Amino acid sequence: MAAEQDPEGRAAARPLLTDLYQATMALGYWRAGRAQEAAEFELFFRRCPFGGAFALAAGLRDCVRFVRAFRLRDADVQFLASVLPPDTDPAFFQHLRALDCSGVTVRALPEGSLAFPGVPLLQVSGPLLVVQLLETPLLCLVSYASLIATNAARLRLIAGPEKRLLELGLRRAQGPDGGLTASTYSYLGGFDGSSNMLAGQLRGVPVAGTLAHSFITSFSGTEVPPDPMLAPAAGQGPRVDLAACVETWLERVCGHLGLGVQEPHRGERAAFVAYALAFPRAFQGLLDTYSVRRSGLPNFLAVALALEELGYQAVGVRLDSGDLLQQAQETRGVFRTVAAQFRVPWLESIPIAVSNNIDEEELARLAQKLVSVGGQPRMKLTEDPEKQTLPGSKAAFRLLGSDGALLLDVLQLAEEPPPQAGQELRVWPQGTQESCTVRPAHVEPLLRLWVQQGQLCEPLPSLAESRAFAQRSLSRLSPAHRRLEQPALYQVALSEKLRALVDRLSARGAL
Amino acid sequence: MAAEQDPEGRAAARPLLTDLYQATMALGYWRAGRAQEAAEFELFFRRCPFGGAFALAAGLRDCVRFVRAFRLRDADVQFLASVLPPDTDPAFFQHLRALDCSGVTVRALPEGSLAFPGVPLLQVSGPLLVVQLLETPLLCLVSYASLIATNAARLRLIAGPEKRLLELGLRRAQGPDGGLTASTYSYLGGFDGSSNMLAGQLRGVPVAGTLAHSFITSFSGTEVPPDPMLAPAAGQGPRVDLAACVETWLERVCGHLGLGVQEPHRGERAAFVAYALAFPRAFQGLLDTYSVRRSGLPNFLAVALALEELGYQAVGVRLDSGDLLQQAQETRGVFRTVAAQFRVPWLESIPIAVSNNIDEEELARLAQKLVSVGGQPRMKLTEDPEKQTLPGSKAAFRLLGSDGALLLDVLQLAEEPPPQAGQELRVWPQGTQESCTVRPAHVEPLLRLWVQQGQLCEPLPSLAESRAFAQRSLSRLSPAHRRLEQPALYQVALSEKLRALVDRLSARGAL
């Protein structure tokens, strides 16, 4: 299988993006005559991140791309030769040069699936040597993607379905691709978009953004725009000097608000005018550069009302510091009185966006009041997929009640027949010593076959499709499991046969 | 300036790796006739990360590469056109197509420099529009690199200069490049190497690694190696059946340790033998797959002593779970008695490496006892380079005493003459209301000119050179400032003129 053309124009992950010990172990297997032995590994986690009872599976598209393109180039093999012992058998490097994933099969939860502790996110099988080399890069591709998607899903649950949530974390990310990964998978997990343009260009994530404090502070107010004239929105009628019109409106706004007309910062106003000239249909005011109440708000209102005379509606404001909730409430109050005073009803309800270190707690405080929120997901990685305990190749099923609610997930041996809808089943919930019986109304297989012997088995859904799937999946989870703090734990159970195998191996000390 | 060939074969960061608002602001500046206006921005932080009193500057090499290669391709401009208003003046996009960094100048602390709050890590000047587009990617490239380098430097200070520190965090990183960044800059900050092979191949970071638990559990002990024969290290003499020799040694080791010969896991032993056959000169035992004391340790000793008969020295052991310190001490005790019993003196002091979630506290506990440590840097980003407060273009100097100790850093206006060695200087330490005088024996300019009008001014040091520079820089910092908890704060002071300008602007409400 030749390395396919990378649709992003760059290899997101390359074969040498792996721990050296994967290569030393590969040599160990090869020397032991085991390179072609059939092997399988699974990626799963033991505890849900962020103290919740669910995670979202993500990263599959990157894994599939990586597996299909996997091929060691000459330079890669030369590098390996430089870090392995000088007397390593040259036949080993010949073996590496010929290596690809044509013998590799990947099963996985579809992207956006609910994932629970112990249920594999990904099963990779194939020749031992190549499967070993894949382990670290696939872990790297799945761990952070799933973490960030889960974080986004939690923030979405807090905010409710209507609020706009934007990811703005690029400048704090772990380097360029850390940012790209975060932007992509926060969208998958339920955000509406990102500030990261590369995520828009490469992944189709909707992008958003207007202006920063630096834009505002760069204007002193003495600048003379080359062309302050703006045509009406409808295209009919003469062009108007927006800057002059704004000054007229400023007097009326300040009069209404009881402010001196000198109080609002003129550089800030010049910046708003410059932005409005460039984006008359998408004017947003960033209010907190100097003083929200005495400067940002009156300057915004003067520009918004001048634009309104020309038939343009401002799209909203943003607050980026201080007590976001209190300022947002005060700002909303001002919008209401100004809307009434100047008979501009749409102004009453324009979006107030907030940003700046918004975590779950702050979002919960804000969510009742605001329309749009920019959050930076926290980065606490709590998956622990390293130490595998359940033996053998497994299958996983989700059992549902007659109302479509999730009952529990069942892990069983791959060779067992799947659970049947309507039939009673005895299972052993993890972490307990007792079995229980369950009679599912519906049974869903969890792990789908995506790559078989190196070939893609079905097209991957688009990012937007996976995002919608994630929201549908979450909606089926009961409120007790969906709760973000001290949730009821969702049960994952073992089949009788798998449980018996675990018991046998434990008794022999093999686990 | 044409985009240069990326030496890594991939663009680590691309022009669209930026927040959308940088592009909307660019259009705002362009519409206001300010695209070519001279502008400068600085990246700095307000508080040192991790509660310390210093940070290390890092990321410059990625910034320089990014700036020199900066060029919007047609596809980039088309994407921008798709997210900006449809009636945007086409001349703006023409302007973008022609954009490069031939007018951009970069001053920065050399990589590995000590950095303190308020002192710019990076100063970027050039035409306003292009400088605005550079802000987010450069922030992204500097923030995490400096954070991870600082973290590594702190861990190095705890461990002392002799211990081996390895970064093993790839599988938990923020995607592929998050891992590459962490591996690169933890090396710069003082680690000895990384498990990440791509960091070795692309950045020259020394790589290390041996074997994982999965390698050990994949052996049952019933495997028959195709060739169990090993030649002596010196090359002279007959080849020996290593597996058979190990069984002989196992009996002697178990006898000495008071263990039954059946207790050590035979699969683990088979894995050790397989690894030793592949790496007779670099055999390391991972001891904690089953039981360190009853299995891992006797199996390791049997293989190490069999290898020793052939003239090979094992390179050490690794512990990856449980109470690392206690196990390491017990293991060292066993090595001592076995070394004496079997007259193998080198065994007494072979390295004991530990890994698994080692933070500063755990490292401090371990550092007195152990030789080699693998840590995963924590990821708490505490820089706050967003809200600039000190006006104008600045220069920065480090003042030193006659013994070479660091006295303080001085920020002043770019047009002021530099402080002179031996001359008294009045400065205003940040965060205080009083001035002080200082008479430096030496004065060092901090910000070096790296890129002027798009041209590289001097070759960038290699990563290893920067790493050495970082350690020299740290060694000049006094113990009180170097302390990791509740350190004495290192003073950064303003010159009289800069202080006066700040006062004037504050009085006018411009700050």
DSSP string for A419-475:
P-TTS-EEEEETT-S--EEE--SEEEE-PEEEEETTEE-SPPPPHHHHHHHHHHHHH
Inter-chain residue contact B32 with A145, CB threshold 8 Å: no
Q: How far is CA A265 from CA A189, A246, A248, A296, B332, in A?
A: 40, 13, 15, 8, 70
Amino acid identity at A127: P
Tell me if B353 sits within 8 A of B317, measured CB to CB.
yes
pLDDT of residue A49: 85
**Could you tell me whether strands B284-286 and B316-319 are parallel, antiparallel, or unpaired per DSSP bridges?**
parallel
pLDDT of residue A509: 53
Which residues face B196 on adjacent strands?
A19
**Residue bearing tokens 């030793």:** B276
Which residues in chain A have Cβ-Cβ distances shorter than 8 Å to B217? 388
Residue A20 has its nearest CB partner, among B83, B144, B207, at B207
Element (H, E) at A123: strand A122-127
pLDDT of residue B367: 67
Inter-chain residue contact A211 with B76, CB threshold 8 Å: no
pLDDT of residue A347: 96
Residue B181 has its nearest CB partner, among A17, A175, A180, at A175
- Cβ neighbors of A282 (< 8 A, separation 6 or more) are A210, A315, B85
- Cα B397 to Cα B443: distance, rounded to the nearest angstrom: 7
Q: Between vectors from CA A241 to CA A240 and to CA A242, what angle results, nearest 5°?
A: 100
Inter-chain residue contact A21 with B178, CB threshold 8 Å: no
Angle between helices B175-188 and B128-159 (to 10 degrees): 60
Distance to chain A for B47, nearest Cα, Å: 15
Inter-chain residue contact B79 with A200, CB threshold 8 Å: yes
Q: What percent of chain B clears pLDDT 90, i.e. is strictly above it?
A: 46
Residue A16 has its nearest CB partner, among B83, B201, B213, at B201
- Cα A478 to Cα A462: distance, rounded to the nearest angstrom: 27
Q: Between vectors from CA A188 to CA A183 and to CA A189, what angle results, nearest 5°?
A: 100
Distance from the Cα of residue A44 to its chain's centroid? 18
**Residue bearing tokens 């049947």:** A420
Which residues in chain B have Cβ-Cβ distances shorter than 8 Å to A212? 21-22, 25
pLDDT of residue B7: 42
**Six-digit token string for B421:** 């060695």
Chain A, chain B: beta-carbon pairs less than 8 Å apart: 304
- Phi/psi for B115 (5° steps) reads -125, 140
Residue A24 has its nearest CB partner, among B141, B201, B211, at B211
Distance from the Cα of residue B194 to its chain's centroid? 10
- Cα A403 to Cα B406: distance, rounded to the nearest angstrom: 71
Tell me if A218 sits within 8 A of A240, measured CB to CB.
no
Which residues face A449 on adjacent strands?
A107
- Give a three-class secondary structure readout of A124-177: EEEEHHHHHHHHHHHHHHHHHHHHHHHHHHHHHHHHCCCCEEEECCHHHCCHHH
Beta-carbon-side half-sphere exposure of residue A52 (alpha carbons within 13 Å): 28
For testing contact with chain A, the best of B8, B10, B14, B21 (most A CBs within 10 A):
B21
Burial of B258 (0-12, 13-18, 19+ CB in 10 A): exposed
Which residues in chain A have Cβ-Cβ distances shorter than 8 Å to B181? 174-175, 178
- Cα A16 to Cα B205: distance, rounded to the nearest angstrom: 13
Give the pLDDT band (50/70/90) at residue B371: very low
Q: Whose CA is closest to B142, among B122, B124, B126?
A: B122
Inter-chain residue contact A509 with B21, CB threshold 8 Å: no
> Is residue A55 left, alpha or beta, with left meaning phi > 0 and alpha meaning psi from -120 to 50?
beta
pLDDT of residue B326: 92
Q: Whose CA is closest to B446, among B490, B399, B407?
A: B399
Inter-chain residue contact A140 with B11, CB threshold 8 Å: no
Tell me if B278 sits within 8 A of A129, measured CB to CB.
no
Residue A274 has its nearest CB partner, among B10, B32, B179, at B32
Q: Tell whether the model's pLDDT for residue B370 goes beyond 80.
A: no
**Residue bearing tokens 């670290």:** A136
Distance from the Cα of residue B99 to its chain's centroid? 33
**Could you tell me whether strands A105-108 and A448-452 are parallel, antiparallel, or unpaired per DSSP bridges?**
antiparallel
**Residue bearing tokens 């980003």:** B381
Q: Tell whether the model's pLDDT for residue B379 goes beyond 70.
A: no
For testing contact with chain B, the best of A16, A17, A34, A376 (most B CBs within 10 A):
A17
Tell me if A230 sits within 8 A of A280, measured CB to CB.
yes
**Six-digit token string for B165:** 């520190």
CA terminus-to-terminus distance, chain B = 37
Q: Between vectors from CA A352 to CA A351 and to CA A354, what angle results, nearest 5°?
A: 135
Distance to chain A for B331, nearest Cα, Å: 22
- Cα B37 to Cα B29: distance, rounded to the nearest angstrom: 9
**Six-digit token string for B425:** 């200087």
Minimum Cα–Cα distance from A180: chain B residue: B17
In this prediction, residues B293-301 reach a mean pLDDT of 97
- Cα B259 to Cα B93: distance, rounded to the nearest angstrom: 78
Which residues in chain B have Cβ-Cβ distances shorter than 8 Å to A282? 85
Tens of pLDDT along B120-179?
888 888 999 999 889 888 888 888 899 889 999 999 898 888 889 998 887 777 666 777
Tell me if B117 sits within 8 A of B44, measured CB to CB.
yes
- Cβ neighbors of B250 (< 8 A, separation 6 or more) are B261, B264, B269, B298, B299, B302
**Six-digit token string for B146:** 């400096």
| pLDDT top residue among B386 and A109 | A109
Does the complex come out with an ipTM higher than 0.90?
no
pLDDT of residue A254: 97
Which residues in chain B have Cβ-Cβ distances shorter than 8 Å to A217? 388
Which residues face B406 on adjacent strands?
B400
**Residue bearing tokens 């939860």:** A109
Distance to chain B for A40, nearest Cα, Å: 10
Residue B213 has its nearest CB partner, among A34, A209, A387, at A387
Tens of pLDDT along B85-129?
888 999 999 999 999 999 999 999 999 999 888 888 888 889 999
For testing contact with chain B, the best of A95, A183, A197 (most B CBs within 10 A):
A197
Neighbours of A203 (CB within 10 A): 21
Residue B173 has its nearest CB partner, among A85, A140, A213, at A140
Which residues in chain B have Cβ-Cβ distances shorter than 8 Å to A174? 144, 173-175, 177-178, 181-182, 379
Which residues in chain A have Cβ-Cβ distances shorter than 8 Å to B16? 197-198, 200-201
Residue A42 in 3-state DSSP?
strand
Provide the sign of the torsion angle of the four alpha carbons A282, A288, A289, A291, taken in this order. positive
Distance from the Cα of residue A362 to its chain's centroid? 19
**Six-digit token string for A88:** 């390593």
Inter-chain residue contact B23 with A225, CB threshold 8 Å: no
- Cα A15 to Cα B173: distance, rounded to the nearest angstrom: 16
Inter-chain residue contact A198 with B19, CB threshold 8 Å: no
What is the total residue count of chain A? Answer: 511
For testing contact with chain A, the best of B19, B60, B84, B202 (most A CBs within 10 A):
B19
Tell me if A358 sits within 8 A of A325, measured CB to CB.
no
pLDDT by residue for chain A (511 residues), tens digit each?
333 334 444 445 688 888 888 888 899 999 989 999 888 888 888 788 888 888 899 999 889 999 999 999 999 999 999 989 898 999 999 999 999 999 999 999 999 999 888 888 888 889 999 998 998 888 888 888 898 899 999 998 988 888 899 988 877 777 667 778 888 999 999 999 998 888 888 888 998 888 888 889 888 888 888 889 999 999 888 999 999 999 999 999 999 999 999 999 999 999 999 999 999 999 999 999 999 999 999 999 999 999 999 999 999 999 998 889 999 999 999 999 999 999 999 999 999 999 877 788 777 777 656 444 443 332 222 223 333 345 667 899 999 999 888 999 999 988 899 999 999 999 999 878 899 999 999 999 998 888 888 888 888 888 888 888 888 888 888 888 888 888 888 999 999 998 888 787 766 654 4
Residue A201 has its nearest CB partner, among B16, B19, B137, at B16
- Cα B172 to Cα B168: distance, rounded to the nearest angstrom: 9
For chain B, give the mean pLDDT: 86
- Cα B245 to Cα B231: distance, rounded to the nearest angstrom: 13
Residue B434 in 3-state DSSP?
coil
Distance from the Cα of residue A431 to its chain's centroid? 30
**Using the 8-state DSSP alphabet, how is residue A295 labeled?**
I
Tell me if A444 sits within 8 A of A423, measured CB to CB.
no
